[in-house]
Amino acid sequence: MDRLCEKLEGPDADKHLFRLGRERNTATTDIAEVMGTLLSPGNSPREIAIKKTWPESRDRNFEMIFLTGISRERHKNIVQMIYAFSNKRDDRICESFVFDFMPDTLGSLIENNTLDLVDMKLYTWQMFNGLQYLCQLQIMHRDIKPVNILVDHPPGLLKIGDFGSAKVVRPGMTSTPYQVTRFYRPPELLLGSETYNWTVDIWSAGCVLGEMIKGNVLFPGRDTKHQLKLIRRALGSPTEADLKDESKVKTKLSSILMKTKLDFSCDDESKESREVGKDVVKVK
C-alpha cells in the first residue's frame, strides 16, 4: 500500500511517497512495538524496521527529537533514524520511527549461545565505541541492555538502539534514579542518587559484557535489596570516597545494610569466566 506522510521528519526533512510491504511483528513491549517490512521509495527496496510508540504525555516524544538530531551526525555503532512520522488514532498519537533493519539483538545471540571469543571482543569494542560517541555529546542512554543492542551477526555489526530513556546531561541537573532495567542498574541509582551522568551506561555495558561471557544475567536481583547484595558480594562495599557528596545514597545504604543480612561469598563465580573476561577486554 502507498502511504504519504504529511509530517515526515529525519536527516532530510522532505515529504516522501513510499510503498511498504507486509509488516511482521519482531518485538512488542507495553509502550512500543517493532515491525519489520520492506521500504520502496523508488525502484530500490530496502529492509527496514518501524518502531511505533504511543507517548502518554501531550508533549512531543523526546526520542523523536533526539533521533532527528543525532541521525544528522552518523555513527556506525548508533542506530540511525531514516524517517519519523506521527498520526492520530482514537484520540492517541502514534509516533513511528523508521530504521534500517537489524536482524538480531545481543540478547538473542546470548540466549542461543551463538557468541565465541572473537564475537565477544568485536561486539564489546563496538558497544563501548558507541558509548564513547554518546559521552562526547554528553548524552546518557539509561537503558543499555542486551535486547537494546542491535546486531547484524554475519558481518559482525553492532548498533546501540532504543533511545526512549535517553537524556542530555547539563551542569547542576538532577534526574530520577528510577532508570535503567534493574539487572543493569548501577549501585548509585539503586541507592537513589539523583546526580548522575553518562557513566551509568558504562556500568550497564559492563553487565552486558559479563552476560556475554557467562551466558546469563550477571546480577539477576529479585528486587533492589537483592540486586545490591549480588553486587556487593562480587565487588565489596563502597568506600567513603565512593560516597563523597552523596549523603542521600549513604543514608539509604546504611539503612539497607542494617535491615538485610548479606552473604558475601563468591562461590558462583567461575575461574573460567574470569579468565575469558580478561581475554575479552585485553587490548593488543
What is the distance between the alpha carbons of residues 60 and 38, in angstroms, rounded to a whole number? 27
119 catalytic? Reply is no
Q: From its phi and psi, is residue 172 left (phi > 0), alpha (psi between -120 and 50) or beta? A: left
Q: Which of 216, 106, 100 is nearest to 150 (CA)?
A: 106
Burial of 129 (0-12, 13-18, 19+ CB in 10 A): middle
Which of the residues 104, 119, 143, 267 is marked catalytic?
143
Residues 139, 198 contacting (CB under 8 angstroms)? yes
Bridge partners of 36, per DSSP, are 24, 49
What is the distance between the alpha carbons of residues 29 and 53, in angstroms, rounded to a whole number? 10
Sign of CA dihedral 240, 245, 247, 250: negative
Query: At 197, is the secondary structure helix, strand, or coil?
Result: coil
Catalytic residues: 143
